[in-house]
Structure 1
Amino acid sequence: MSNFWVNLYKFPRFLINVLIGFFLTTFQPIFKLLKNRKDRLLGITTIAVTIVLFYRIIQIITDSI
């Protein structure tokens, strides 16, 4: 039974490591794109358009409620 509690105490550290690994592997290609000037402009434009699009969609949804 003590093994159960030891494993349970290790779970938060495991969860944090999994989340950090997920974000590092997700954003690593984005950081590689930001090294080149042309790709940087394309990436920033894409991110800006995505944020504006999500903002407008949420705004339309909340106005209809």
Structure 2
Amino acid sequence: MTKFWNNINKFPRFLFSVIIGFFLTTFYTIFELLKEKNKRLNISITIIVFISIITIILRQMLGIR
């Protein structure tokens, strides 16, 4: 039973490291692309459009204005 509780105590640290790893690997590729001047504008526009679409969808779903 002691092993079980040890594993349960380790789970939050494991979950935190998985989440941090996901964001680091995702944003690393974006930052590498932002180093090139030609791609900087394209990625910026793509991110702005993506956030705008998500905002519009959530507003319509939630009935806000």
- Output the TM-score relative to the length of structure 1: 0.82
Give the aligned partner of residue 20 of structure 2: 20
Aligned residues: 63
| Runs of 4+ more than 4 Å apart | none
Q: Indicate the structure whose relative CO is greater, using CA pairs within 8 Å and at least 6 residues apart.
A: 1
Q: CA RMSD in A?
A: 1.3
Alignment gaps of 5+ in structure 2:
none
SS at match of 1:31: helix
Partner of 2:3: 3
| CA–CA separation in structure 2 for the residues paired with 1:18 and 1:2 | 24
Aligned partner of residue 31 in structure 2, secondary structure: helix
* Matched-pair identity in %: 49
Instruction: Give the CA deviation at 1:29.
Output: 1.1
